[in-house]
Structure 1
Amino acid sequence: MACRAGCAACCIAPSISSPIPGMAAGKPAGVRCVQLTTDNRCRIFGRPERPRVCASLQPSPDMCGHDAGEALELLSGMEQATRPVPRSHIVVA
């Protein structure tokens, strides 16, 4: 499967803890990456300053769905499912 041009769901839905040019502390989930252009293309695609996690993402039906809207929903769900539990919410028996 190839990346869907102009989708950008993977640049919006997930949190990214690695520094990104213009986002030194990384990117929170649900926030557009500052490197996205108005037509949802990555300004640093293929460049060495692009975070390794971004370069490692590979499009798949489970992640991308049938359109950009579904991709955003799927990736947002994955982000929710893999979010670490805050220490204050851990119950020790």
Structure 2
Amino acid sequence: MPQGKPAGVRCIQLDPANLCRIFGSPERPAVCASLQPAADMCGSSREHAMHYLSTLEQLTAG
């Protein structure tokens, strides 16, 4: 997404299984490459992780 990804908008690089199509590619944004999963971020479910990421987007929108 040339101008960045707005909060709440699905990344255009995610495939139907929510895997990054450009993982490991030089075109992958630095912010994505620097995001390191951690237990508090991932939790024990997809729902927890998505809530965490949504909250992070809201806090950094802007």
Q: TM over 0.5, yes or no? A: yes
Q: What residue number does 2:23 align with?
A: 45
Say which of 38, 41, 47 aligns to 1:69.
Answer: 47
> Contact (CA 8 Å) 2:7, 2:58: kept in 1 or not?
no
CA distance, structure 2, for counterparts of residue 51 and residue 25 of structure 1? 11
Q: Please say if 1:58 is aligned against 2:36.
A: yes
Map 1:1-93; keep pairs closer than 5 Å.
23-84=1-62
Q: Give the CA RMSD over aligned residues.
A: 1.4
CA distance, structure 2, for counterparts of residue 32 and residue 79 of structure 1? 11
**Partner amino acid, structure 1, of 2:58:** Q
Output the TM-score relative to the length of structure 1.
Answer: 0.59
Unaligned runs of 5+ in 2: none
Output the TM-score relative to the length of structure 2.
Answer: 0.84
Greater radius of gyration (CA): 1
